[in-house]
Amino acid sequence: MNKKTISAVIVIVAVIAIIIFVSSKNKSQSNSPIKIAALLSLTGDTAAWGENAHKAIELATDEINQSGGIKGRQVDVIYEDTAGDPKKTVSAYQLVTSVDHVTAILGPLNQSELSAIIPLIDQDGTPTVAPDYIPLQNRKDLHNPILVWMDAQVEAGRLAQYVYGQGIRNVGVIGTLDPWESTVSNAFADKFKSLGGTITDTEIVQSDVTDMKLPVTKVMASKPQAIFLGTYYQFVNSTKELHDLGYQGKLFGIEVDDYLAGQTAGWVSDLKFIAPDYYTSGFIADFKNKYGSTPGLPAGQSYDAANILFSFLKESTDQSGILQQMKNFSKYDGVSGQVQVDPQGRTILPTALFQLKGGKVERISGLL
């Protein structure tokens, strides 16, 4: 065998080896799981929300994987606990993007957490779908992240319109400096005043204060017909002080969940609040069948967020391809109702008016 023949054989063998290597690598990649991350507050003050979201995402993931996955690939969700802390959220984001190299992210759930990682999302272009809200003015890209939560200003405005429509003309407001709570408190006040009503007093406190007697006393001293509680963190303390101080007027709130209802059962006798409308009966049954309990906020929105992301992944598992689909996203019919993104970039979902009495929540009517 001459040198030319030997050289040709060597080249052919090398080419075959490369083809086998590339084919094996592509086959390995095509069978490997699609890694995504879920940044959730699994401990801390909002752990109940985080646990509901975790269960819902787990349910959606099990369903997609049991149906064959996405183009034959299973979905692997990496859960990171943010503890409701923006700094921990940033660390979790950096871990899943730089170490785990996830394709996309679900979450976080808290406005301050999402605000903390928005600059990183803008910088990295990591596709993100969050059961969360953030003001439009704090967003550079209105297509990423996609938000699966009712626009807080619109939601609070709907309740203000309802309150004014009940003949109430002066209201006191209690809220906190938490970004979401501050947003809803101010949005309610602004809308109520624009309708011709009067805000008699506004008390905005730190979200972690333990004594609400002084701010509650100040609001009561302004003699309002009603009080709007734009707070989750201080809902229990505020309603307890109002009861102990003998408040007799009307009470209104926003997004009261089963936890708050149970905590205030001994003293809240009548409070109306706005919240996302009930989930579809099929989702409630599936959730209860898997976990033995009914889904609370934000389970339905988290389930929808996961399935919205899965719908993108079915078309492309490449981040650039996902981002292109996100630009064209405008609506999705989910278990929490139709998720719509209007031309201004605001997310709109169905809401309803509920009544809280003695620890029990009853739906009164839809509120559009």
Domain coordinates in residue numbering, the chain: 32-149+298-329, 152-278+352-367
Confidence check: pLDDT of 11 > 60? no
pLDDT (0 to 100) of residue 81: 98
pLDDT (0 to 100) of residue 4: 53
Going by pLDDT thresholds of 50, 70 and 90, the confidence category of residue 31 is confident
pLDDT (0 to 100) of residue 283: 98
pLDDT (0 to 100) of residue 245: 97
**Token code pair at residue 14:** 């090398």
pLDDT (0 to 100) of residue 6: 52
Find residue 175's DSSP bridge partners: 204, 230
Task: Provide the residue count of the chain.
Answer: 368
- Which amino acid is residue 327, in one-letter code? K
Q: Which fold, 152-278+352-367?
A: Rossmann fold (3.40.50)
Q: Which residues of 185-210 are buried (b: 16+ CB within 10 A; e: fewer)?
A: bbbbbebbeeeebebbbbbbbebeee
Instruction: Give the chain's mean pLDDT.
Output: 92
Going by pLDDT thresholds of 50, 70 and 90, the confidence category of residue 367 is confident
Confidence check: pLDDT of 150 > 80? yes
Average pLDDT rounded to a whole number, residues 50-54: 97
CA dist 262 → 64, 81, 356 (Å) = 34, 25, 10
For residue 303, what is the enclosing H or E element?
A: helix 299-315
Q: Position of tokens 């204060």?
A: 209
Of 345, 250, 261, the closest CA to residue 297 belongs to: 261
pTM of structure = 0.85
Give residues with Cβ within 8 angstroms of 189, minimum separation 6.
160, 171, 173, 199, 202, 228
Contact by Cβ (8 Å): 109, 131: yes
Tell me which DSSP letter residue 108 carries. -
Average pLDDT rounded to a whole number, residues 227-253: 97
Residue 118's CB: how many other CB atoms inside 10 A?
18
Handedness of CA 264, 133, 209, 174 (dihedral sign): negative
Average pLDDT rounded to a whole number, residues 147-164: 97
pLDDT (0 to 100) of residue 333: 97
Q: Which CATH class is domain 32-149+298-329?
A: alpha beta
Confidence check: pLDDT of 8 > 80? no
pLDDT (0 to 100) of residue 208: 92
CA dist 110 → 20, 84, 321, 367 (Å) = 48, 7, 27, 24
Confidence check: pLDDT of 2 > 90? no
Residue 250's CB: how many other CB atoms inside 10 A?
17
Residue 115's CB: how many other CB atoms inside 10 A?
19
Query: What's the order of all strands across the beta sheet hosting 104-106?
Result: 75-81, 34-40, 104-106, 128-130, 146-147
pLDDT (0 to 100) of residue 26: 41
Q: What is the DSSP string of 172-224?
A: EEEEESSHHHHHHHHHHHHHHHHTT-EEEEEEEE-TT-S--HHHHHHHHHT--
Question: What distance in Å separates the CA atoms of residue 149 and residue 133, rounded to the nearest whole number?
Answer: 6
Question: What distance in Å separates the CA atoms of residue 276 and residue 302, rounded to the nearest whole number?
Answer: 13
Q: What is the DSSP string of 254-288?
A: E---HHHHHHTTTT---EEEEEEPPPPHHHHHHHH
pLDDT (0 to 100) of residue 27: 43
Question: What distance in Å separates the CA atoms of residue 255 and residue 165, rounded to the nearest whole number?
Answer: 20
Q: What is the pLDDT of residues 304-314, one digit of tens each?
A: 999 999 999 99
Of 325, 320, 327, 345, the closest CA to residue 125 belongs to: 320
Q: 21 vs 337, which has greater pLDDT?
A: 337
Confidence check: pLDDT of 14 > 80? no
Between CA 31 and CA 42, with CA 37 as vertex, the angle to 5 degrees is 140
Q: What is the pLDDT of residues 80-138, one digit of tens each?
A: 999 999 999 999 999 999 999 999 999 999 999 999 999 999 999 999 999 999 999 89
Q: 138 vs 190, which has greater pLDDT?
A: 190
- 3-state SS class at 37: strand
pLDDT (0 to 100) of residue 5: 52
